[in-house]
Structure formats: C-alpha cells, structure tokens
A and B are shown apart, each in its own frame.
Chain A
Amino acid sequence: MEANTVIWIFILPLGAFILNGLIGKHLPGRTPGWIAVTAMGAATVITWIEVYRFVRLDEPAFYQHHFFTWLNITARITIKAGVLTDPLSLMMMAVVTTVSLLVFLYSIDYMKGEQGYARFFAFLSLFSFSMLGLVAAPNLIQLYMCWELVGLSSYLLIGFYYQKPEAVAAAKKAFIVTRFADFGFLTGILLLSGITGTIQIEELNHFSGIPDFFSQQATFLGLSSITWAMALIFIGGAGKSAMFPLHIWLPDAMEGPTPVSALIHAATMVVAGVFLVARLFPLYQAFAPQALDFIALIGAFSLLFAAIIACAQTDIKRILAFSTMSQIGYMMLALGAGGYAASLFHLFTHAFFKALLFLGAGAIIHVVHTQHIEQMGGLRKVMPVTHVLFLIACLAIAGIPPFAGFFSKDEILIAVYAHSKVYFAVALTGAALTAFYMFRLYFKVFWHQSKEVHAHPAPVLMMVPMIVLAVASVITGFTGFNLFYPLAGHHDFTVPFTSVIVALTGITTAGVLYLKKREKPEQRPLLYRVVQNKFYIDEVYLFVTKNIIFRSIAFPIAWFDRHVVDGFMNALARVTQSFSQKIKFLQSGQVQQYAWVFMAGAAALIFMLMFIVR
C-alpha cells in the first residue's frame, strides 16, 4: 500500500467537488456529471487495486499512514490527518466508492435538465470525499470532522430542491436531529480520550485498561465512566443511523432527489453508526459490555418498530426508508449480540440491494411521476427490466436464497440465536415483516390492473448501474465479503431453514392480501392508523418541543431577557438621557461664559495646590 496512491482516493472526489462547485455552472450539458463520475471511477479503481493487493499480495492486515500533522495540542496528543487501513476500512471504502460510482452514473441521466445540475454533483462528490475520510480515519477527531461533513452534505442534498418548503424543513430536521446526537458523540470522544489519554483508534482498541486522566472505575449511576463514554459515542451513531428514538429525520430525508436517498440515506451514510461501533468494537467488548447490551436493545426495538411502520406506509420511498432503519436495526442488534462479522456482512450486502431498491424506485418515479403506491400498478408490463431488477432486490432483502440478503441475515440470526432467544424471536418476526412489507410494495407497484402510463424506456445510463447492483445483490452472498473477513461455515441448518420459512410466509401473506384485489375499507382499524402515523412519534416530539420546551422554558426565559435584562439596560439609558436633557443648557454658546468657568476652575486649582494639598 503506497501512501501516495492512496491519497488520490480522497483527492479525486474533493477535486471534483471543487471543480464542479466553482465552474460547474458554466460547463455545458452533462459535463459536471461526467467530471464527478470520472473522479469517482478513478478512486474506485484505486480502492479495488488496494483491496486486491491486500488480498493477494499478503499486505499487512493493518496499515497506517499520516499525510500531515493537522493540530498539535500537547506533546502527547497530536492530530494527524491520514488513513488507517484494516479489513474494516477497506471494506467500507470499497462499498462507498463502488456504490457512489454507480449512483453518480445513474444520476447523470436522472438529474438531466434539473436546476443546479452542477451543484448536485459537487455536493455528491463532497459527500463521497467526506465519507471516505470518515471510514479511513486513523483517529477519532478526523472521524468526527468527516462525520460532521457527511452530515453537512446530507443536509445540502436533502434540501437540494430548496424552493420546496417540505425539502427545506426535512433538511433542517435531519441536521438538527443528527446534530443533537453528535453532541453525545463529541462528549463521548472527550470522555473517552480523557480516560484513555489517546485519540488514535488503534491505540484505543489495544487499550490496556490502565486509566490515564481519571479513573475508569469512576462510576455514575452505577455504570463505569468508560461505559458512559462508549454509550455516548453510540448515541452519536444512533442519530446518524436513525435508531429509535432519533429516527424521525430519515423518512423526511426522502424529500431529497432519489439518487441521494440511494447513496446517502440507504447505502453509506446511515450505516456510519454501525461502522462507528464496529470501529471501536474491541473497546466495547472489553470494557463496556453494558453499552453493547444497550446497543442490542435499541437495535432490536428499532428493527421491529420500523418494520411495523413500513407495513402501513403508502409512499414508496418512505417504505424503503423505514426498511433501511429496520435493516440497520439488524446490524446494531448483531453488534450488540457479538456478531461483529455478521453485522458487517449485512452492511456489505445491504448497501447493494438497498441502493438497487432506491434506484429502482427512482426509475419508477421517473416514469409514473408519483411516489404514492396506490397510484401505481401493473408496471411489470410497462417496465419489464426494472421489474426483474426490483424483484431481485426484494428477494434479497426478504432473505430468500440464493440472494445476498439471505446469507447475511442468516449470519445475524445465528449470532443473535447464540446470544438471546428473545432477540432471536424479535429478529425472526422482523424477517417475516420485512418480507411482508417488501412484497406488499412489490405487488402494489408491479401487479394489480394495468394503468395508462406513458412508457418511455429508461436511459441506458440509468439501467447499467441497476444491473450491476442486481448482479452484486446476487453474488455478494457467496463471495466478496470473505475478501475482508473469513466467515465460519455452518453445518446446522435449523436457523436458515426457519428464516426461509418465515420469509416465505411473509411473502405469501402479502401475495394473498395484495396480489389480486385492492381492499379499500371505509374505516381503517385504529391500530392501522396508529401505525400509518408512525406511532405518532413525530407528534410526541412536536409536543415535547412546542409545549414543554418552548412554552415552559423558552418563553419564560425570553420574557426574562426582554423585560428584566433589557429593561434594566433601557432604564439606564433613559435616566442618562433625561439627565443630559436637563444639563444641556449649560452649553450656552457664549464664549465668555466658558472663559469665566475656565478661569474660576484655574483659580480653584491654584487655591487647592497652595492651601489644601501642599
């Protein structure tokens, strides 16, 4: 691994961002898109070469290189920008560059003719740069900085249609919610570096347990300080990964353009939380088992919660958003249950099939001009290729062999089974619900009666990435991931057998309910409405912020500021003003009067000097 080759992986997307951002507006036609694609393509090639060298040429499994010293804080704590490559970051870099490249390629035609075409590609390149910096970060500070940068690019891209009020609101919501979580992350970093005395990830993962600054035995509410630090870091990850109760931004983030949803809000950025926990996994395992239990709990709850909500949504992208949240719940649960490789395997496969689902949804929206699944139907005749690709992705996420999702979900189920039977039951229920809601979506969109849709074939540039992703969704189950981590073979087929049965049950139920007739009861049951409104979590947040925080805290404080603090200052000003109004007539404009005062003053001074001061 050569440092001066690796650095191009970061420079190229950054260069595309700068170029498109500065002069993209003046470039003709689709040139900005091709600039971004070229840069990303080169970065992808370099990444895969590095992966190949890592696999074939027996490069050391761990490699660290610092490009430059960024901040010198103390003699012991210096922050250096650089790369850390180990199987985890190589795997993430491969996923990020590959999915980015395919989504960029797709966007060239998808975004054609949009206002701000160059801006779009500039932001996408910025995102890829930040995400690569994040996954390759050798220390927590660089990781945190890139973490905020991906948050920023996510904000910019959700609000891409900035003339749409919903998009602006969604962008703000995403930024504020994740910012709120990042506060936990930052506190966690400070606490952790206070305990361990280092910010280097590899030193952290080999932490001896001897505290540096203050004792790790220091406890708060019965948990050790290091557990608190790790839990706080997880909260940052939970915000980015849309875990309950910080998930509210993800469905709204679908206001952004569909390729953005595919890249950022499905395949790469939202799994940053999983990556973060995986990055510090040795530390979690050795020092913070309670934090891991917490992660498992949140993951299990989120996966079931999101899966239930996804069953009652009618917006195609929102269904996919909740499904993303549910799948990340699986990854978190697997990490909490100790299934490190299983979790990353699912991250790897999920990136491909979820990106495919979103790109497929984008192709559908491109043709039917609506996101409402009740207004679609019979599309299998209109767009046969997309239909097949979408079906592959649905089967992959539902966990049907031989598609990728089956293998990775299977690994997770085995890991969870060994950990806890309750979580296993939750994960199985989630698997059934996943199959159900995905095929509800599939049947509603592609079957039913045909509609009058002006079918124009999707451009080749949109089809190619989808085909590549579909191939990846099939083969990554067999190969690909074991480049990075060897997976243990299993010979017990109870768990996989159960999971397939469960998934098939879900698909069959969806088929029975949605394949033929379209039920339209006048009065939906109460439970359905509760689920459709996402358990009213948004309303709870609104209630808490509006009624509790604004009414009882913010308004009184604002009143105090306006009337007491400002009032005091205003009173001071008013007294000064009226006093000066009274004495201003001393300024008569008569020079001789002034001279009298002056002389009297001089005389008084002389008198004092002569007789009083001495």
Chain B
Amino acid sequence: MTGIPVEHLLIFSALMFFIGMYGFLTRKNLVTMLIGIELMLNAVNINLVVIDRFVYPKQTDGLFFAMFVIAVAAAEAAVAIAIFINLYRNIRSVDVEKVNEMKY
C-alpha cells in the first residue's frame, strides 16, 4: 500500500464512480443498473478508506463508515432483487422503461 500514491487511489475511485453512474444512467436492464449502483457505492467506500488512511491515520471512523455502507448495500441489493423478481413475474420484463406505472 505504501507504494501507491494517494492521487492514484483517488483517481481510481473517481473513475469507478463515474463508470457506475454511466451504467446507471444508460443501461435499460434493471440488473445492470443495480450493478452500476454497486460500483458507485464501492467507489465511495474506497474513497472513505483512503481518506481515513492518509488524512486521519490515528482514527478509524472512515473504516467504520465503509463497513456501514457495505452492510446497507447488501440489504439494498436484497430488496432490489426481490423487487426485480416480482416485477418480472408481473410484466415478464426487467426493462426500466417499461416500469413507468407511477407517473403523474
């Protein structure tokens, strides 16, 4: 870890975040959109850990934040996938553009 400079790590996490965002905004399949969300969350996790390690080395707050995010992400994935399955059972599709029942 000592070999990698902090800028590289931050650039890596920023790239990962925007890749996830791109996936979330452009993909029409709900499952791939979920993967995009996971990418964004993990980019944030990397950011948290890196900032904790380099800026506040004596404290562990960032690490715990990252753990919380992992736990919440797991729950979120479980709920989202349950919704997708039910959605598929109802409309035989997981296309996000077909899920627009809740409009005006």
Contact = CB atoms under 8 A, between A and B. Distances in A.
A584 B33 CA distance: 26
A589 B21 contact: no
Nearest to B100: A589
A589 B102 contact: yes
A75 interface: no
Nearest to A580: B104
Contacts of B100: 588-590
A589 B104 CA distance: 7
B104 A591 contact: no
Contacts of A609: none
A599 B21 contact: yes
B96 A591 contact: yes
A599 B101 CA distance: 23
Interface string B26-39: 10000001000000
Contacts of B96: 590-592
A599 B25 contact: yes
A470 B96 CA distance: 99
A595 interface: yes
Interface residues of B, number: 13
B25 A592 contact: yes
B103 interface: yes
B99 to A, nearest CB: 7
B99 A591 contact: yes
Given A592-B25, A599-B21, A585 B97 contact: no
A591 B24 CA distance: 10
A585 to B, nearest CB: 6
A402 to B, nearest CB: 95
A588 B33 CA distance: 19
Contact of B103 (A587, A595, A596, A599): A587
Nearest to A599: B21
Nearest to A587: B104
Nearest to A584: B104
A599 B102 CA distance: 21
A525 B96 CA distance: 97
A595 B24 CA distance: 8
Interface of A: 584-585, 587-592, 595-596, 599
Interface of B: 21, 24-26, 33, 96-97, 99-104
Query: Which 9 A-B pairs have CB atoms at the shortest separation, nearest pair first?
Result: A589-B103, A589-B100, A584-B104, A587-B104, A589-B102, A587-B103, A588-B103, A591-B96, A592-B25
